[in-house]
Amino acid sequence: MNSRIVTSAVILAIIGLATAYGVYAASSPNGTNDSPDASSEIVCPEDGSLYVWTPIGTFSENFNWRCLLCSHTWIKTYPEDKYKSWRNALLEPAFVRDYTLLYLRAVLQMDISDPLALDWTGGRETPEGILGYETFVYRASAIAVTIGYPVVLPENTVYTIKVEVGGRTEWEGQLRRREFVTDSPMQNAVYDYSGGVGLFDRGIHIVATSYNPLIREASTSAPHTSEIDYWQRLKENVTITASPKDFISIIISRGDRPTGGYTIRIRSFSWLESYPVKFRFSADFTDPGEGVAVTQALTNPLVLVPIGELSPGEYIVEVHIIQYIMTYDKEGNPVYTPLQTFKEEVWEQSFTIR
C-alpha cells in the first residue's frame, strides 16, 4: 500500500478520535460538568452522590462501598454489567479533580480541603498543536491539580494526576477505571488514625502473617470483621523473626496521641539491595498548631505498608522523619512549618527471615 495513503489514514484516525473527544469537551470547555455518563451511575444511597468508591483488587471489590463525600458505607454487589459500566465510564476532568481530592481526604486521610467548597479557576491547558493528549490544570486557594490523559476510548483512559498544596507535591498517581494507583511501592499503603489506639507504640513494627492483610477476609472465617479486630490480629503477629513463607508488612506508628490533628505521611520509599537489605522511608509527621480545632479523642496515626514474601536474610527498616506544625493563615489556608532540629530523627528496626 502507498505510504502516503497509510500516513493519511493514521492522521484521519487521530483526528477522528480527537473530534469525538472534542464533542465531549465542547459540552464543558473547562471540564466543569461533574457527572459521569448517567447510564453508568452508582450513587450513594444516603445522599445520591456520585463520589463513591470500592476497594478494587481486593475481595471487598463491588461489595464494600463508601461515599467519599458523606462517609456513608454500605454493602452491596451490583450487577456485573452495571458495575462494568461504572468502571468504564468517561470521567470529565473536573470530576476527576474532585474525586481524587475526596479520595485523598476520605481514604488516605490527608489534610486536603473539601474540593466542593472551593472556588476553582483554570481548565484546559493543552499546548497548541498537541493531538492525542489533553492537559487540564485547576487552581483554588493554595491547591493546584494537574490532570493529563490520552485521547482514547473511555475504558482505556488513564488519568495522570498531580496534587500540589502550597507549592509542595502532596500526591502523584493515576486513576485507571476508578482505581487509584501510584508508581511507588507505597501505592497499597493503608493509613489509619483510630484502629491502633492502645495497640501500637511509637515506632516500627514488623508484622508476619500467612495472608496479605489488605485482603482482610482472608484472615478470618468471618467475611467482614471490625476495625478493632483487624488491627488486634496484626498486633498479635508482630515479630522480628519470620519465615520465607510469611507475608511481611511494616507498620509505622506515631503512638497514641491525645487528640486528632496529628498525621503521618510517607513521602518516599526505597528498597536498597545492600546487606542487610534496607527499606528506607521518608516520613512527614505533622502536629496541630496553637488554635487549630481538633477532635477530642485518642488517635494513633499509623501507616501499614504491605511488602510480601522475602528471601532469607537480614533486613533493616529506616524511617527518616521531618516534623511539621500545621496552622492556618488569614485566608484559612494550611501552613506547614518544619521544626528545626540539630540532628535528623531516624528510626530503625531490624528483622530476620529464616
The per-residue pLDDT for range 25-65, each reduced to its tens digit, is 433 434 444 556 555 689 999 999 999 999 887 657 898 89
C-alpha distances out from residue 196 to 189, 237, 261, 288, 296, Å: 15, 14, 16, 20, 17
Model pLDDT, residue 37: 55
How distant is the alpha carbon of residue 39 from its chain centre?
Answer: 27
DSSP state for residue 202 in the 8-state scheme: S
Distance CA 272, CA 167 (A): 29
Model pLDDT, residue 312: 92
pTM, full prediction: 0.53
Distance CA 33, CA 45 (A): 21
Model pLDDT, residue 184: 58
Distance CA 109, CA 295 (A): 14
Residue with cell string 463525600:
69
Model pLDDT, residue 33: 44
Q: Which residues of the chain have pLDDT under 70?
A: 1-40, 58-59, 109, 182-187, 215-228
Helix (H) or strand (E) holding 227: helix 227-236
E strand spans, 62-210: 64-67, 73-75, 121-124, 133-140, 143-150, 158-165, 168-176, 179-181, 190-192, 203-209
